């Protein structure tokens, strides 16, 4: 019904145009009457332009509506009391409702943005973003307080604080992280994420000062190590002190001066003295071995990094341990996917870790039914190289899973408790990790992650 008003307006304008055209034609038939024809022609042109303008009313409204959305001009309003019929009034109302919805959505987004900005400024973690050209996007108060860089214009200003920090930030991969000691009171842990905005690639960095946490962990580590050292030294020194006292008593009470003036000792006392000295010697050797093990743990050389083929590394381990595994009736299965996978590492140090893990697996499988050790290499979900060493032996009880990496802690009767601690430290020197996952009496997997 509403559209009928618009249709009627078009129809009567067309009829007027037709009437004027017919009038011009009839006037032209009569010779010598030019003025009425000119007047009718002017009226015809005027009505024609009026018809075009009238027909373009809807287009203009739609164009104005779209431009309002395009330029985010949500202050525009469309006339509700249009004389062109109810359908146009409904169209105007719809335009206004859409603009109101856009205005509300923009207001909500602005509120969310304001909330995020406030939240970013109030969290204790430093936040910084920069684009592919190094321009700073967002930097919160915590980051400014940590970095203390005046006039922070672009990411390259990090070089004012530490050139090493800048190099690590520039080369960091999305999802990557690193730790760096910047100054005496600042030990940064940096994590990154990547995102795309307005066609530009952005990197988001988070900074945390873990100095106090490191000092706390270091103190706890030294306390644990001191307990172990005290325990081992006391275990060796207590019987030595007691035995030395007993041997002194034997010398005081049982030694006598003979007729020739020489000191004499009964055979039984001599045998006791000799046995006691042998025992002291054994305990002293054990203490020296313990000190040497501690020295080995604290003097691991810096790794000499180079490209290393996992397949070649696994083949070397197989050759070195072949006879030992055959004697224990255990097979060693290796697998690398993709076949040509390489890691950047010190081959000798990583080979030492693998040999230690394989030997531990062999000892854990003394009574295992499935007599197989699997060493596999590949990429994890983040495309980071990993090595897995899996056995099907007795496993590790949950309460011992983390303690096995503590220096001198061991679950074996003949173990020194230093092998796994050294292995984890070697992986830390490679900026990697060494973890263990175990199901007692099922299987145990040691995971080496390079990155």
Q: What is the pLDDT of residue 198?
A: 77
Q: What is the pLDDT of residue 391?
A: 92
Q: With CA atoms as reference, report the closest residue to 308 among 192, 418, 432.
A: 432
Phi then psi dihedrals of residue 21, to 5 deg: -65, -45
Q: What is the pLDDT of residue 2?
A: 40
- Rounded to whole angstroms, what are the CA distances from 168 to 150, 211, 404? 21, 19, 32
Q: What is the pLDDT of residue 375?
A: 94
Low-confidence ranges of the chain (pLDDT < 50): 1-4, 29, 81
Tell me the residue ranges of DSSP E strands in 166-312: 177-183, 186-197, 200-209, 256-257, 263-264, 306-309
Q: What is the pLDDT of residue 17?
A: 62
Q: What is the DSSP letter of 302?
A: P
Q: What is the pLDDT of residue 25?
A: 58
Q: What is the pLDDT of residue 158?
A: 87
Q: What pTM does this model have? A: 0.47
Count of CB atoms within 10 A of residue 292's CB? 12
């Amino acid at each position: 019904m509403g559209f009928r008003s618009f249709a009627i307006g078009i129809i009567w304008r067309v009829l007027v145009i037709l009437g004027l055209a017919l009038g011009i034609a009839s006037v032209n038939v009569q010779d010598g009457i030019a003025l009425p024809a000119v007047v009718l022609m002017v009226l015809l042109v005027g009505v024609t332009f009026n018809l075009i303008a009238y027909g373009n009313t809807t287009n203009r409204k739609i164009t104005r509506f779209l431009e309002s959305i395009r330029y985010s001009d949500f202050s525009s309003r469309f006339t509700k009391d249009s004389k062109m019929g109810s359908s146009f009034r409904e169209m105007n109302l719809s335009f206004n409702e859409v603009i109101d919805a856009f205005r509300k959505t923009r207001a909500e987004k602005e509120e969310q943005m304001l909330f995020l900005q406030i939240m970013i400024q109030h969290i204790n973690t430093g936040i910084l973003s920069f684009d592919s050209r190094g321009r700073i996007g967002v930097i919160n108060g915590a980051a400014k307080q940590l970095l203390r860089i005046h006039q922070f214009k672009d990411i390259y200003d990090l070089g004012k604080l530490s050139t090493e920090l800048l190099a690590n930030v520039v080369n960091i991969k999305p999802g990557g992280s690193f730790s760096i000691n910047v100054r005496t009171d600042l030990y940064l842990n940096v994590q990154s994420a990547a995102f795309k905005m307005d066609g530009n690639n952005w990197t988001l960095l988070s900074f945390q000062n873990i100095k106090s946490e490191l000092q706390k962990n270091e103190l706890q580590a030294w306390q644990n190590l001191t307990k172990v050292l005290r325990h081992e030294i006391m275990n060796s020194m207590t019987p030595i002190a007691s035995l030395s006292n007993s041997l002194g008593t034997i010398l005081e009470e049982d030694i006598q001066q003979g007729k020739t003036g020489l000191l004499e000792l009964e055979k039984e006392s001599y045998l006791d003295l000799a046995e006691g000295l042998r025992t002291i010697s054994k305990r002293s050797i054990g203490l020296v071995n313990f000190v040497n093990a501690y020295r080995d743990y604290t003097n691991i050389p810096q790794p000499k990094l180079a490209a290393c083929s996992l397949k070649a590394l696994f083949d070397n381990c197989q050759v070195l341990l072949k006879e030992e595994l055959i004697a224990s009736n255990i097979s060693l299965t290796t697998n690398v996917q993709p076949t040509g996978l390489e890691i950047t590492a010190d081959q000798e140090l990583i080979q030492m870790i693998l040999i230690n893990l394989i030997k531990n697996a062999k000892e854990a499988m003394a009574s295992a039914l499935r007599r197989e050790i699997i060493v596999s290499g590949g990429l994890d979900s983040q495309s980071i190289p990993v090595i897995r060493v899996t056995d099907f032996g007795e496993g590790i009880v949950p309460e011992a899973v983390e303690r096995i990496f503590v220096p001198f802690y061991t679950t074996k009767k003949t173990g020194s408790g230093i092998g796994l601690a050294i292995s984890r430290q070697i992986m830390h020197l490679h900026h990697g990790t060494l973890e263990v996952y175990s199901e007692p009496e099922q299987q145990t997997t040691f995971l080496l992650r390079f990155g």
